[in-house]
Amino acid sequence: MPVQAVGVVDLALITFGVAGGIWLLVHAEEMLGAGVRGAERIGLRKPPPRRPDGMPIERIAADLRRIRPQARRPAVGMPMARRVAIVAAYDETLLDACRALEVPTELDRITDALERESERLRTEAELERAGVDLG
């Protein structure tokens, strides 16, 4: 049997086939993702449920229950810097809970100490109405 020489066209087709196969292997994840997004867009597949952005509300509530007593009644002789830090941590955790449950609050905007304490109490009441046990 005579051996036929491979022509330029045949060599180009083989090269493009191998290069295309390698490209598909490298980009398989992107192509699969594009296929899934397309299927979701036309209704062939339901999109996965949206995950909440922050910490779970159970963890936030546990943090509130842990920090609240220290913020409300500081220990005798506690340095002022520590007291301020504890109250700031408590306020941040209250804000996290409000964001998680979509409870409106002005706690992050108020700077006056008396108004801030009043807003803190109002925010606690709103969170308890929303089902958070502050214990």
Non-local CB neighbours of 105 within 8 Å, separated by 6+ positions: 94, 95, 98, 119, 122, 123, 126
Non-local CB neighbours of 52 within 8 Å, separated by 6+ positions: 100
**Whole-angstrom distance, CA of residue 30 vs CA of residue 18:** 19
Q: What is the dihedral of CA 11, 15, 20, 22, to 10 degrees?
A: 150
Query: For the residues 98-112, what does the mean pLDDT come to?
Result: 92
Query: For the residues 20-41, what does the mean pLDDT come to?
Result: 88
**Token representation of residue 86:** 């504890």
pLDDT at 47: 75
pTM of the model: 0.62
**Whole-angstrom distance, CA of residue 67 vs CA of residue 63:** 6
pLDDT at 93 over 70: yes
pLDDT at 44 over 90: no
Query: For the residues 51-72, what does the mean pLDDT come to?
Result: 89
pLDDT at 2: 55
pLDDT at 87 over 70: yes
Q: What is the pLDDT of residues 10-23, one digit of tens each?
A: 888 899 999 999 99
For the stretch 124-133, contacts whose Cβ atoms lie closer than 8 Å and that sit 24 or more positions apart, written own/partner, are: 124/94, 126/98, 127/64, 127/94, 127/97, 127/98, 127/101, 127/103, 130/101, 130/103, 131/101, 132/57, 132/60, 132/61, 132/64, 132/97, 132/101, 133/61, 133/65
Q: What share of the chain in percent tops pLDDT 70?
A: 93
